[in-house]
C-alpha cells in the first residue's frame, strides 16, 4: 500500500518548480485566454475580482482593463512581480498579494468574481481549492476558470514528463480540472449554473525544437524535469516532446499546435 502524499512537501516542491525559469515568457503568449474569460464572466466596472494562482496576471489585467477592483494572488512571489510590472506599464491599479489558493486570507463573500487561468488546476488539493474559491465568492457571484483538458497539448506534455519524473502518488492530475464533470463535482451544492465551453489556444513557435527550447528554459515544470535527467535521458525526453509536437502541428513550415482548454463559469448559489 502506498503511503499518503505529503501535500505540504509537494507544494514546497511545486513552488520551487514554478519559481524556476520565468513563466512570464510563456504566460504572456496566453493573454487572449484571460480576455475571453473576462468576457465570459461578463465583468462589470467596480466589481471586486480575485485572481487565484494568477501567475503573471493575464486575467488580472483583463479584469483591470474592464474597470474592476482586482486582487491578484499567487503563492510564488516572483510571478506576481511580473504581473505588477505589466500593470504599472498600463497604468492599471491592481493589488498584488502572495496567497495560497488552498488557504485564501480573505473573509467569506469578499469578492463578486473569482477567476483563474491555467493556475488553480495545478494546486494539489482540488477539493480544498474549490471550497476556498467558493467561500470567498459572494452568493450570486461567479467563478471563472480556464483549464487545460486531458487531451490538450499541455495535458499530453505532462503525460510525457510523467514518464521521466513520476507524478506524486495519490494526487489527482491537474488536467481533471479540464473536464466538466470534475468541476461540477468540486462545486457540488454551491452553484446554480455551470457553463462550460471548449476552446482552442494555438501555440505558435518556429519549430518543435524551438518550442522545447523555450519551455525547457522558462517553463518551471519542464525546466525541473530536464534538470533531473542524465544527458541521454534529456535527449530521449527532447525526442518524445518533439515527436508529440510534430504529430499535432497543423502547418508545414512553422509550428502551430492547437491545444484545447475548457472555459468554465460557475454561478455561485
> What per-residue confidence (pLDDT) applies to 3?
47
Q: What is the pLDDT of residues 117-130, one digit of tens each?
A: 999 999 999 999 99
Instruction: Answer whether residue 62 is part of any domain.
Output: yes
Which alpha helices (DSSP H) does the chain contain, by range? 7-18, 23-27, 31-40, 58-65, 77-89, 126-136, 153-162, 180-186, 208-218, 220-227, 231-248
> What per-residue confidence (pLDDT) applies to 259?
98
> What average pLDDT does the structure give for the chain?
96
> What per-residue confidence (pLDDT) applies to 48?
98
Name the pTM for this structure: 0.95
> What per-residue confidence (pLDDT) applies to 252?
96
User: CATH number, domain at 180?
Assistant: 3.40.50.150
Q: What is the pLDDT of residues 228-246, one digit of tens each?
A: 999 999 999 999 999 999 9
Q: Which residue has the cell 509550428?
A: 255
Of residues 87 and 8, the one with the higher pLDDT is 87
> What per-residue confidence (pLDDT) applies to 4?
54
Instruction: Answer whether residue 236 is part of any domain.
Output: no
Instruction: Answer whether residue 92 is part of any domain.
Output: yes
Domain holding 146, by residue range, is 7-151+162-202+259-268
Confidence of residue 264 (pLDDT cuts 50, 70, 90): very high
State the cell numbers at 122.
495545478
Instruction: Answer whether residue 216 is part of any domain.
Output: no
Instruction: Answer whether residue 84 is part of any domain.
Output: yes
Instruction: Answer whether residue 252 is part of any domain.
Output: no
Confidence of residue 1 (pLDDT cuts 50, 70, 90): very low
Residues 83-117 as b/e (b if ≥16 CB within 10 A, e otherwise) read bbebbeeeebebebeebbbbebebeeebbbbbbbb
How many structural domains are present in the chain?
Answer: 1
Instruction: Answer whether residue 240 is part of any domain.
Output: no
Q: What is the pLDDT of residues 174-222, one digit of tens each?
A: 999 999 999 999 999 999 999 999 999 999 999 999 999 999 999 999 9
Instruction: Answer whether residue 127 is part of any domain.
Output: yes
Confidence of residue 142 (pLDDT cuts 50, 70, 90): very high
Q: Are 178 and 152 in contact (CB under 8 A)?
A: yes
Q: Are 59 and 34 in contact (CB under 8 A)?
A: yes
3 state SS of 179: coil
3 state SS of 97: strand
Q: Are 66 and 42 in contact (CB under 8 A)?
A: no
Amino acid at each position: 500500500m502506498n503511503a499518503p502524499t505529503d501535500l505540504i512537501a509537494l507544494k514546497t516542491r511545486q513552488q520551487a518548480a514554478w519559481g524556476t525559469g520565468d513563466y512570464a515568457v510563456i504566460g504572456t503568449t496566453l493573454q487572449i485566454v484571460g480576455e475571453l474569460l473576462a468576457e465570459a464572466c461578463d465583468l462589470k466596472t467596480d466589481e471586486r475580482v480575485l485572481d487565484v494562482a494568477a501567475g503573471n496576471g493575464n486575467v488580472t489585467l483583463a479584469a483591470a482593463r474592464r474597470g474592476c477592483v482586482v486582487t491578484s494572488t499567487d503563492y510564488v512571489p516572483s510571478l506576481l512581480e511580473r504581473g505588477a510590472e505589466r500593470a504599472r506599464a498600463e497604468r492599471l491599479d491592481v493589488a498584488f498579494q502572495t496567497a495560497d489558493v488552498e488557504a485564501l486570507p480573505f473573509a467569506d463573500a469578499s469578492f463578486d468574481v473569482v477567476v483563474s487561468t491555467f493556475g488553480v488546476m495545478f494546486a494539489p488539493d482540488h477539493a480544498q481549492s474549490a471550497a476556498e474559491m467558493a467561500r470567498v465568492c459572494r452568493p450570486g457571484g461567479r467563478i471563472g476558470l480556464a483549464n487545460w483538458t486531458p487531451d490538450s497539448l499541455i495535458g499530453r506534455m505532462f503525460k510525457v514528463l510523467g514518464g521521466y519524473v513520476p507524478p506524486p502518488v495519490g494526487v489527482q492530475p491537474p488536467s481533471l480540472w479540464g473536464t466538466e464533470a470534475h468541476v461540477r463535482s468540486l462545486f457540488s451544492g454551491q452553484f446554480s449554473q455551470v457553463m462550460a465551453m471548449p476552446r482552442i489556444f494555438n501555440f505558435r513557435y518556429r519549430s518543435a525544437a524551438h518550442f522545447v527550447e523555450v519551455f525547457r528554459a522558462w517553463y518551471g515544470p519542464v525546466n525541473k524535469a530536464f534538470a533531473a535527467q542524465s544527458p541521454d535521458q534529456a535527449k530521449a525526453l527532447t525526442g518524445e516532446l518533439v515527436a508529440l509536437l510534430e504529430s499535432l502541428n497543423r502547418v508545414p513550415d512553422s509550428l502551430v499546435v492547437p491545444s484545447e482548454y475548457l472555459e468554465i463559469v460557475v454561478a455561485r448559489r
